[in-house]
Each structure stands twice: as structure tokens, then as C-alpha cells.
Structure 1
Amino acid sequence: MSGSSIVLAAVVAFMVFAVMCLLMRVFAKQIISGFFAAEQMKMIELSKQTVDVEALHAQAREEAKQMELISIDPSAPSKVLAEAAMLRVSQLRHAHDTALQALSATQNALLTKRKYYATYGSGASDIKRLEDFIVQQEGKLAQLEPLLTQWGVQTEKLATGLHLVD
């Protein structure tokens, strides 16, 4: 082989290598983008499953009205109402815990989105939207926590007074 054919073969080999690297990068980016798209779909599904915090507040207000009725009306049905109140507080606590779990999943999605943004530099608006959503939900859930605790204590006192629990 002559010197020029060796140089030509090296140039061709380098060009093939460069094209292969470009193709690998494009495919890797598409695969990673697909992964993050799948993560975003999971986030959307979780947000659909997220407990509506406003509905949770409405349930809590309704529970407060029920607690007032029970404490005002010392008639025989109070035992039944107290049991219903205990069940409602338990359901509200469960809904609150579910909302916290959904919020945690949203925070995980935010971390994933931040990693994607750090790698590829896109998705800043999604990150801002998720951050705002998380702050809003955390605030609402933080307002609800003391109410749930208070109603749980009131229900326990009422149930103890009616000898439903020891």
C-alpha cells in the first residue's frame, strides 16, 4: 500500500467513526428523551390521581359542622354520629396521606426534570410549573394538617365520653 492510500483509509475510518459517534449521540438523546417523556406521563397520571386538596378542605369543613352537631345534640343517636365522625376523620386522614404521597411523587418528577434540564437544557417552563404546583399544594396541605389533628382529638374525646373507645 502506498502512503496516500493509508492516509485515505485513515481519513475514511475517522469519518466513519465520527458519523457513528453522531448517530450514537442522536439515538442516545432520543432514548433518554423517551425515558423522560415516560416519566412525564407518569407524572401526569399521578396528577390525575392526586387528591383534590380543595375537595379535602370541603370535606374537612363538613366534618367540622358534623362535630358541632354531635356536641350540641346529646341525644341517643350521638353514638352513631360519633362513630360516623370517627370514620370520616379516618377517611380524611387517609385522603390527606394520599395527597402527601402524590406530592412526593410530583417532587420526584421535578428532580427528574431538573436532571434532564441539566443534561439537555430544555424544560425550564415545566420545572417552574412543577415548582409552583408543589409550593401551592404544600401550603394547602399544611393548612389542613392542624385541622385534621384537632378533629381527630375531638372525635377521640367524644368517642371516649360515649364509651366507644377506652
Structure 2
Amino acid sequence: MALLSCLLLCILKAFIYAYSYLSIFRSKHVTAVDIDEKKIDYAHHNAAIYGVDDHIDFIKGDFFSLAPKLKADTVFLSPPWGGPDYGKVETYDIKTMLKPRDGYFLFNTAKKIASRLVMFLPRNVDINQLAELCLSAHPPWAVEVEKNHLNGKLKAITAYFNAPAVDNESA
């Protein structure tokens, strides 16, 4: 299979889901990957409603199998949280609760694809683990955490990860 890449700004969206956030990338090219054909169909339908389907390539496949062939400017990850039980624990542990692979594996896979990652996570995620992800990279990455509220209630956390800038003059 040929290397999947975009020449301009390209966003790779893994784990798309029917309620996908694909429409927020309206002016960008998006490659959306999910293993579930139904989720792709729903996301394609939603993208058509929002008028962004011409900016999106939908790929049915396993993100982890495709990852070595993917390149993008940004990877947006919205992994399965494990169903409604995630809200029953005080702290959501990305090492043990993210499935089918843990958050560290997901981060390390995605950072080989892009220098910017976005992870959409449960509201009770352990923020210290997000910092650990950054420190596990060499050199360490930066992270900015956004709390997503709806009607005054915390609904989710979005973590924005960035690789350190490369100094081309000293290279």
C-alpha cells in the first residue's frame, strides 16, 4: 500500500464515530480512519449534511495497522472510552481503561505520524498522565489541556500535544 500523505495541511482523524468532530476541520483536508464500517457510514452522512464530505477521505481499517503508512500535520484522536462505566470511576486511567490499546501506545503511535496530536478524552482523565506522555517523548513534548463545558458542566478534556520546534539553523 502506498504511503498515505497530504502535501498541504492534513489532519488524520482516528476513531471517527457517528457523532464525529469532522465538521470542525471544514477548511482542511481530513483522512478519517475507523475499523467499523457503520461508523464510517454515519460519519460520511454527517459530513455530507455539514457540507464537508469533499474534504474528507474515509478509510476503513485498523488505525494501528495503517499507522506506519500514514503522515499528517495533525492527528486528532478520539479513542473509545469504554462505554458509560468511565464515569463511574473518580479518575480515568489511560494506561488501563483506554481500549483496544492504552493511551501511551496510542500517543507513541500517533507521534510517528504527526508533530501535533489532539486527544479527546473523558472529563475525569488523569491530567498527570497527560504530562507523563509528554515527558516520555525524547525530546519532551508540550501539552495544553482544555476543559470542555456544556451548559456549565464539564463534559470532556481535550489535550493538545506539540513536538518541540526543530532548529534548522543548528542542524
TM-score clears 0.5: no
TM-score by length of 2: 0.23
Question: Highest relative contact order (Cα 8 Å, sep 6+), 1 or 2?
Answer: 1
Q: Which has the higher strand share?
A: 2
Q: Which has the higher helix share?
A: 1
Greater Rg over alpha carbons, structure: 1
